[in-house]
Amino acid sequence: MSKVVPKDWIGCPKKSYLIGRKFVAFKTPLDETFTKLKKTEIFTPNDVFDWLTKSKIKIGLWIDLTKTTRYYNSKEIINRGCRYEKIWCEGHGSVPDWKQIKTFTDIVDNFISECPDEIIGVHCTHGYNRTGYLIVSYLVNKMNFRVDDALKAFSDNRPPGIYREQYVIDLVHRYHGDINKHIIMKPFWTKPHQDDARHPNPKNDEIKILRNPSIRPEYHNHSNKRNDDPYHRREQNYHQFRYTEQPRNHIRFSESSNSHNHPVRIDSRNGHTSAIPHCRTEILHGDKVHKRKEADKRRFKEFIKKRRERRKLDRANDERGPYKTDHEQNYYSSHYRNHNSHNKYHRS
């Protein structure tokens, strides 16, 4: 009985050009048990080795990032004299965690120290998101790429690049890049009426390095300024990301809690306590406070980063700030007037 082919696998481009002069990304090969494929759609582990052999490139390390063993038998890789490593990555929108990044980095470092002239093949189901995330992380951590250049190097050699927004945002946030430089494109192979020639595969008899600035040697040094300006980095972290992501990162809601349930009006009695069961106030990092409140007959959560830096978000996480409500404005105005009159009274 034939196995089920992964979704969108057939139209997905098979392989990439050389990335960072060290990596080749490709979609997962399928063995002969997948019998419902046309001749032009067949892509087996042997096809990967034959393609690289024709390009006069030797692959010495094969890293499998899928969370299954049903696509092919790993013995096929080992029998070709290639080292096989398996890193179980979740996929389906789940970004690799720091343990998986460290595992990938250690495996690659050990291999490069032993076989510096051989190439590393990396694949997940389609060879884009998990594969791109870990390759980009390695380029930044070990080859001194800027994250923006590493993302461009991957997208240039494996078009259209990482196409899940969550992966790109996490990489840019982790390595202090500029989210405005990246256009996330929907994969063309998910559109059945478009021609695959928009992003052609490398020919089977050749592999080439695209000459783009992101893989030039001068980018592989410590002269870049990505960490030199702490103020600029702090401003990036606050301004460049959408406010749908920022509160989640700072507030860290628990998985079981609903951040919008049971809003209450915050006043002097409950503003700094958690005495009311459904009013949860969290103080984080000293000056960051999360409170829930009801205002103007709408439910908001309020993110207070500094004394004068507030953001209100509704149930859809749409930004409603920074601003003060009429009640707040009247309170601050009256407090200011009373404070001035009190000082005037004592001066007289």
Q: Is 124 a catalytic residue?
A: yes
Q: Which amino acid is at 138?
A: Y
DSSP string, 267-293: -TTTTT---STT---EEETTTEEEEEE
| Whole-angstrom distance, CA of residue 205 vs CA of residue 82 | 21
Question: What is the rounded distance in angstroms from the CA atom of residue 65 to the CA atom of residue 87?
Answer: 5
265 and 255 Cβ atoms separated by less than 8 Å: no
Say if residues 20 and 152 touch (Cβ distance below 8 Å). Answer: no
- At residue 341, φ and ψ (nearest 5 deg) are -65, -35
Q: Are strands 298-306 and 288-295 parallel, antiparallel or unpaired?
A: antiparallel
- Catalytic residue of the set 12, 82, 83, 130: 130
Is 308 known to be catalytic?
A: no
Q: Return the half-sphere exposure (C-beta side, CA atoms, 13 A cut-off) of residue 258.
A: 6
Asked if 262 contacts 276 with a C-beta cutoff of 8 angstroms, the reply is: no
CA distances from 36 to 8, 39, 40, 47, 126 (A): 15, 10, 12, 18, 18
Residue among 124, 146, 158, 164 flagged as catalytic: 124
Q: Which residues pair with 19 in a beta bridge?
A: 23
Nearest to 73 by CA among 84, 61, 60: 84
Residue type, 99: K
Cis amide linkage into residue 322, ω under 30° from 0:
yes
Indicate which residues carry an active-site annotation. Answer: 124, 130
